[in-house]
Amino acid sequence: MREVALVYLDRSGGLQKFVHDCKKYNDSKQSYAVYRFIISINPSDIAELDAALGNYILHNPLQAAQIFQSVCFIAIKTLSLIEQLQTEAQISILLKPTHLPPLPSYVLSLSAYPFNYTSQRFYMSEGIVITMGIVTKYTQGARFLCTEETCPFSEGFRYIRVHCPGATESATVRTDFVCSLCSSPLQEDMKFRVLGDKQIVEMIDVKVLNALKGYSSDKSHFRIQAFTVFLR
């Protein structure tokens, strides 16, 4: 799958954009714990190139991102794109699909029962925004070091925490992480914390518009409930 991912990036122009993004990081005088890359993907093109990878991206996007993470790390090391990069864990890949298959199973509708949305795959959702919160900061990535000075992991980039979709802030930054080598507490290196913007919006399903069309002879009862969306 790594080979197919590399072929797709090369054919789609994604590899050229990736090299350009790496140049901006490499030219920057700032040190980073996490290097974040957004990769646009066309699921139809990938499925035609390799059906297994296309299906993997659509239904297991978090695991599929790890494949692109590995490809990007090899590319950076092979082409010497970012001199400061040390470990693969420092690369954060966000797969951004251009579209999803026009099938009912890819549409998230909270007005339809049952709510069978247990998988962490891509869904489309359409609604009306009724309230918006202010833009605040959240931790995209952080570097942790072992507090035991004699431990090899008291330096370097062995412990990198990166925010994953659906995770809470405490999943990325906490005070109870311990070293896997010596079991000593880990401490965050605040100089390398990477922040991003997030905004919370409240939405309602578009079907609520039916209730605004006036009197209806339909005697069925329904209720309207908003749902929360995190924009990061």
Copy the structure tokens of residue 211: 């209730």
Provide the percentage of residues in the chain whose pLDDT is more than 70: 93
| Position 76 pLDDT exceeds 90 | yes
Could you give the maximum distance between any two Cα atoms of the chain, in Å? 77
Calculate helix-pair angle for 2-12, 61-79, nearest 10 degrees: 70
| Cβ-proximal residues to 195 (8 Å cutoff; 6+ apart), any chain | 137, 138, 139, 140
Q: How would you classify the pairing of strands 91-97 and 35-41?
A: parallel
Determine the average pLDDT of the residues in 190-206.
Answer: 91
Determine the average pLDDT of the residues in 199-228.
Answer: 76
Determine the average pLDDT of the residues in 121-136.
Answer: 92
Q: Which whole-number Å values give the CA distances from 12 to 1, 40, 42, in the listed order?
A: 16, 9, 9
Per-residue pLDDT, 185: 95
CA-CA distance, 108 to 122, in Å (whole number)? 9
| Cβ-proximal residues to 147 (8 Å cutoff; 6+ apart), any chain | 154, 179, 184, 185, 186, 187
| Position 120 pLDDT exceeds 90 | no
Q: What is the pLDDT of residues 23-71, one digit of tens each?
A: 999 998 788 889 999 999 999 999 999 999 999 999 999 999 999 999 9
Q: What is the CA radius of gyration of the chain?
A: 22
Label residue 216 by pLDDT band (50, 70, 90).
Answer: low
DSSP structure class, residue 24: H
Domains with residue ranges and CATH for the chain: 1-99 (3.30.1640), 105-231 (no CATH)
Q: Is the dihedral of CA 27, 87, 63, 135 positive or negative?
A: negative
Per-residue pLDDT, 167: 84
